[in-house]
Structure 1
Amino acid sequence: MTDTTYRRPISWVSGVRTDVGCVRTVNEDAVLAKPEVGLWAVADGMGGHKVGDIASSKIVDALAALSASTSLGDCVDVIEDCLLEVNQLMLEYAQIMFDGSTMGSTVVVMVIKGRVGACLWVGDSRLYRLRNQQLVQLSRDHSQLEEMIELGLITREGSDNHPNRNVITRAVGVETPLYVDVSLFTTQVGDSFLLCSDGLYNAVSHDDIVESMKLRDVQQSTDELIKKALEQGARDNVSVIVVKGNPGRVSAADSTQG
């Protein structure tokens, strides 16, 4: 008798949308979705700095031009090198074009290969995973507020209206060397991921994010999140990418016979 065990592959689909919000006149966010190679990113140009929209676009354009790789480790190395190179180019661009004034952007990148993924980020754009109805943040904000929470100076529950909640401590294009944080995670059929700028999570509650991500259609989830942010008077640009893992087709190469 022959037993056959199938390792079901995961097919990743994504919905993408970015909106200027209810207050700002320029959208300084940029988004990237390449589900065919397992790569997604959200970049948030720094408000109040010159040409934040150019800063975020430079990051996304550089990531979009990367060659596909089958190895997660290789992907992480290439993405990190890409962000370091863009950081240097942005510093030089600002020096030449704006007499050294700062142009910068946060970024969160997700790459998935097989059953393992990686999150790379700089700043306070976030990656979440929804699994078994539980929403968990996989990135950790580079912000003064997060540092204060880590030091025990304030509690997370009491941080919602803190005056320093939007002060970030790390961004692409601000200084060298640039330090990119990396976190690895597992994936399962049925997992949903959310990449977003702070314009979303500062406007929409945790529970409302979960409810929107439960929707079956991935673009509907994305649109619903943007809608809720706008209904709350989104004071910043809002960018959302929702990624869902559906059962893929099992091929002979995916099966192990014994």
Structure 2
Amino acid sequence: MTVCKKFRDGAELHMVVAMSDDRLFQNWYSVIEDDAGIQHPSSTAGYFDSLDQAVAMMKKHRPNAKEVFTMTKQIKKDEGIRLADGRMATLSAAQLPDGKFEVMLFTNGPEMEEVDSIQCEYEETALAHFERLKKYYHTPELKGRYKKLAEDLKEAKAYGLDHAGDDDGGTCNFDSATLYLPRWNKEKVEIAAKTAGVGCSVWTSFTKCCFIFSIPGVGQGFRRTKAAEAMHDFLEERGYDAGMYYQMD
């Protein structure tokens, strides 16, 4: 199934969809989304033998609905994306009426907020952007200790920002808090950092491998150091084996 057109009528969302063989079309009215991000129509009409027939029926049944999305040619199957804040979104790639290609990521639900979009001249480039956006934005849901780590890192980030101070003088640096997490899954730790909105890298000190967590945009001098040290104190208080990574730029 492919979404060909979307219409907005106040808070209601309607769609024209192509079935699996792209030769039959169906109208979906008053589409709602469940907790898993799957969309369900309250009612349907069709099947229609052409897109034009489906659109004509849509306009007849919903005369006040405004078209908000048109897909000329889908070049890759839509993929569901879970954003770092937990919202569900759809990643779509299509050829536009002017021949260019567009990759768009938009949230599910009535608001259909655009998260990111890219237009380009060639299909291969669009497909490459599709994979890049998928890797950058998709954040799998965490469970157990990794979910708790994400929550703790998010709170530690806020605590660090609150204690960064106003003076950003001094030497530019990469100072950051570290955690020693033996036998933790590296990929899941990185997802936890992504969910919390902090940077993550690995640092090996002698025989000890630690994860470095940085706060983006906090500063480049004293502010960065103070924020990192406050983040360290917060995580240590939570029971983690926390340390500090100090490096001049």
TM-score for both structures, normalised by structure 1 = 0.22
Between structures 1 and 2, the one with greater strand share: 2
TM-score for both structures, normalised by structure 2 = 0.22
